[in-house]
Amino acid sequence: IGKNIIYKKEVTSTQALAHDMARNDASEGTLVVADYQQKGKGRLGREWHSPPGTGLWFSLILRPDIPPQKAPQLTLLTAVAVTEGINKAAGIEAQIKWPNDILIDGKKTAGILTEMQSEPDRVQAVIVGIGININQQPEHFPELLLSKATSLSIAKENKIFSRAKVIAAILERYEDWYYQYLIDGFEQVRKRWEELAVTIGKEITATTVTKTVEGLAQGITEDGVLLLKKKDGQIEHIYSADIH
Ligand code: BTN
């Protein structure tokens, strides 16, 4: 992972560039990283604020031999690797909020966007986009984000981190988890995800497109589906939701 590195000072989005490169046969493990994204992409069509030189904005090209329906497992694997990398490089207790936000002190410090290029029964490439707020100070965040977002620096008394060291720590954890996953499957990843998750074991409210469900977050399935135990004892499967 990261042996082939494409570095750009400025791009529209590392995710878009990685998609193009994957269509043009870029090899597994190719890393596309930029100092600044003019139009960073977040999940659910949102924009990802990517100011110059402050954070880590990168995309990885993977070519796992798995069926398309297992690709979401890689999102959870990525959350585990990024959380462990941050914890190791910064000495911080970051945690995962389902499905794949990474929080410090309850505020979002990193996000993951997993997309794939596939045929009906075969993954051609998975493009994993990772954005991490590293050295931003409060004035770097748009007003609206301040109550919800943080950076490693804000969490660690304004210390300035080496972005190179943080990405190196993450790629090192990534390589370990990814190759173990290809050999042994998802179960170890699932267990570690649950250990690092702030969501599990808590009373939460999940707002889906159609309804709001309250219950105790019990864990995740093989596919990353959240299991919620409601007051009446029934287990609800949550596929996609905002949770509090
Ligand atoms: C989220 O909404 O939480 C996911 C954010 C993902 C942002 C990263 S930054 C690097 C890569 N390039 C993009 O345009 N988006 C992802």
What CATH number should be reported for the domain holding residue 232? 2.30.30.100
Q: How far is the CA of 196 from the centre of ligand 1 (A)?
A: 21
Segment (H or E) for 155: helix 152-155
End-to-end alpha carbon distance in the chain? 34
Find all residues with CB under 8 Å of 106, minimum gap 6, and list them.
Answer: 198
Q: Which CATH number goes with the domain that contains 165? A: 3.30.930.10
Count of domains for the chain = 2
Say whether both 218 and 154 belong to one domain.
Answer: no
As a whole number of angstroms, the distance between CA 56 and CA 33 comes to 8
Same domain, residue pair 121 and 226: no
Ligand 1 pocket test: pick from 7, 12, 15 the residue with the most ligand atoms within 8 Å of its Cβ: 15
Cα of 48 to ligand 1 centre, how many Å? 6
Write the CA distances from 180 to 45, 95, 186, integer angstroms.
32, 22, 9
Q: Does residue 211 share a domain with residue 166?
A: no
How large is the ipTM? 0.99
Banded model confidence at residue 85, pLDDT cuts 50, 70, 90? very high
50: how many CB neighbours lie within 10 A of its CB?
A: 23
**Are 141 and 231 in the same domain?**
no
Q: Which of 162, 179, 196 is the last residue before a domain boundary?
A: 196
**9-54 pLDDT tens trace:** 999 999 999 999 999 999 999 999 999 999 999 988 899 999 999 9
The tokens describing 171, both together, are 């790629």
- 144 and 105 in a common domain: yes
- CB neighbourhood size of 134 (10 A): 22
Give how far the C-alpha of residue 32 lies from the chain's centroid of Cα atoms, to the nearest Å: 16
Return the ligand 1 atom nearest residue 15 CA: 12
Give the C-alpha separation, 222 to 164, whole Å: 33
Host domain of residue 234: 203-243
The token pair that represents 44 in the structure block:
């659910």
| Residues 43 and 116 reside in one and the same domain | yes
Residues 6+ apart with CB under 8 A from 243: 97, 98, 199, 204, 205, 206, 207, 217, 226
In the block, residue with structure tokens 């794939």? 116
Strands 5-11 and 31-37: parallel
Structure tokens at 204: 């939460």
* 143-148: long-range contacts, CB 8 A cutoff, minimum separation 24: 145/49, 147/107, 148/107, 148/108
pLDDT at 99: 87
Ligand 1 atom at minimal distance to the Cα of residue 111: 3
My answer on whether 191 and 229 are in the same domain is no
> Does residue 100 contact residue 75 with C-beta atoms inside 8 Å?
yes
- CB of 15 within 6 A of ligand 1: the answer is yes
What is the number of the ligand 1 atom nearest to the C-alpha of 42? 2
pLDDT tens-digit series, residues 95-143: 999 988 999 999 999 999 999 999 988 999 999 999 999 999 999 999 9
Cβ of residue 129 lying under 6 Å from some atom of ligand 1: yes
Omega cis (within 30) before 99: yes
Q: How much is the pLDDT for 56?
A: 98
Task: Say if residue 157 is in the same domain as residue 234.
Answer: no
Q: What is the DSSP letter of 67?
A: -
Instruction: Identify the DSSP state of 17.
Output: H
